[in-house]
Amino acid sequence: MTKSRAAVVPSPSEPLVVEEYEIPELVSGAALMRVANAGVCGTDVHLWHGKLSGVPYPLIPGHEVVGTIEDVGPSPIRDLDGNLIKVGDRVTFHDVTKTCYSCWYCLIAKAPTKCPNREVYGITRDSTKWPHLIGGYAEYLYLTPGTHIIKIPDHVSFDGASAVGCAMPTAIHTVMRSPLGWGKNVAIQGAGPVGLMLAILAKVNGASTITSIDQAPNRLKIAQEFGATHTLNIRDTSLAERKDILKDIAGGHGPDIVYEATGSALAIPEGIELVREGGTYTICGQYTDSGPVEINPHLMNRKHLDIRTVWGSETTHVYQAIKTIADNYDRFPFEKLVTHRFSLDDAQKALETQEKQLSVKAVISPHGKE
Ligand SMILES: [Zn+2]
Ligand SMILES: [Zn+2]
């Protein structure tokens, strides 16, 4: 095998095309991955529409990738635990390469997700330059030297690992920015992939109550299988009713922590209303710009709130995400989250399915289900 097919976004909002690339020779420290699944992420839809800055087109999307090591370059490579990586290993990797750990943001501000030197597979890496195969919507992906590779434990299937995509690392980073612990009353705005992962993390951290809030009944039903003790549909209730219900659930005070994972700007003023006095509001769902919204700062001040946001994820969050799935594989039906599977030729359809929110998690499996 010397060539690999890949689905390419030629330029923003143009239909995807499948192209064939030569597989470059593996340099020292590199490896070739046979892609089993590339997760179709909400971010991919935004990339398709050209909504993120600093993205080179033509682009091979796909930053949530699981697969098998097909070949290793001339020198040995190791995973994050220091184990040798061999041909046939089932792996995933942190989509961010080249966090520099030497700039002001990395060293002084200790905010490496704001490092200006970061490059991300399937988002900011340029497919017109060597090694070309830098996105997951392809039969093979070239793992460049320095990529942080993580082995997938034997009992976790490719679908199980794909189910969490970049949602679990984001959720882990988010809970680490909040005082989550046992006995807390938690409410989660949004029951998409990130909201579901937040519910899992609240559960495994011993939260007392976990209320998922969404408008899609199917998503709320799934949330109950992923840790939610209560659900609230925003279509069936008014904001005043939701406040009252959440107060009742949480001993008359309301949730100690509200997590926002919606992607809707309107969720923010509501979250400030829902969280209890002296509580914490942690926002991670505003990754793309959905515009301004009116809020009342007095309410934030009067309620004595801790409000934090989170941007991106670090390698440690990806590492912990794989551990979390592996440790809780019997407890939550991760594989069930993969609701749609597409071939490379149907990558366009995959993006449309994700855009219409018909899927919980869609994947592109260039070689069929593995
Ligand atoms: Zn840096
Ligand atoms: Zn993603």
Tens-place pLDDT, residues 216-250: 999 999 999 999 999 999 999 999 999 999 999 99
Q: How far is the CA of 113 from the centre of ligand 1 (A)?
A: 8
Q: What is the mean pLDDT of residues 138-151?
A: 96
Q: Which ligand is nearest to the CA of 108?
A: 1
Spell out which residues have Cβ within 5 A of ligand 2, the ion.
Answer: 41, 43, 64, 166
Q: How far is the CA of 123 from the centre of ligand 2 (A)?
A: 10
Residues present in the chain in total: 370
pLDDT of 341 above 90 = yes
Please tell me the predicted confidence (pLDDT) of residue 99.
Answer: 80
Q: What is the mean pLDDT of residues 35-45?
A: 95
Q: Which ligand is nearest to the CA of 44?
A: 2
Q: How far is the CA of 98 from the centre of ligand 1 (A)?
A: 8
Please tell me the predicted confidence (pLDDT) of residue 105.
Answer: 93
Could you tell me which CATH class the domain 3-165+313-364 is placed in? alpha beta
Q: Which ligand is nearest to the CA of 117?
A: 1
Q: Which ligand is nearest to the CA of 102?
A: 1
Q: Are 5 and 18 in contact (CB under 8 A)?
A: yes
**CATH, domain 168-309, list 3.40.50.720, 1.20.950.20, 3.40.50.300, 3.30.2310.20:** 3.40.50.720
Q: Which ligand is nearest to the CA of 104?
A: 1
Q: How far is the CA of 276 from the centre of ligand 2 (A)?
A: 31
Report the chain's mean pLDDT, rounded to a whole number.
Answer: 95
Q: How far is the CA of 56 from the centre of ligand 1 (A)?
A: 20
pLDDT of 98 above 80 = no
Q: How far is the CA of 41 from the centre of ligand 2 (A)?
A: 4
For 16, which DSSP code? P
More reliable by pLDDT, 158 or 113? 158
Q: What is the pLDDT of residues 241-297, one digit of tens each?
A: 999 999 999 999 999 999 999 989 999 999 999 999 999 999 999 888 889 999 999
Model-level pTM?
0.94
Q: What is the mean pLDDT of residues 137-150?
A: 96
Q: Which ligand is nearest to the CA of 112?
A: 1
Distance from C-alpha of 225 to C-alpha of 221, rounded to nearest angstrom: 7
Domains 3-165+313-364 and 168-309 share a fold: no
Q: Which ligand is nearest to the CA of 162?
A: 2
Give the start-to-end residue ranges of the domains of the chain.
Answer: 3-165+313-364, 168-309
Range 270-301 burial, b when 16+ CB lie within 10 A, else e: bbbbbbbeebbbbbbbbbeeeeeeeeeeeebe
Q: How far is the CA of 137 from the centre of ligand 2 (A)?
A: 13
Q: Are 148 and 35 in contact (CB under 8 A)?
A: no
Range 198-210 burial, b when 16+ CB lie within 10 A, else e: bbbbbbbbebebb
Q: Which ligand is nearest to the CA of 312?
A: 2
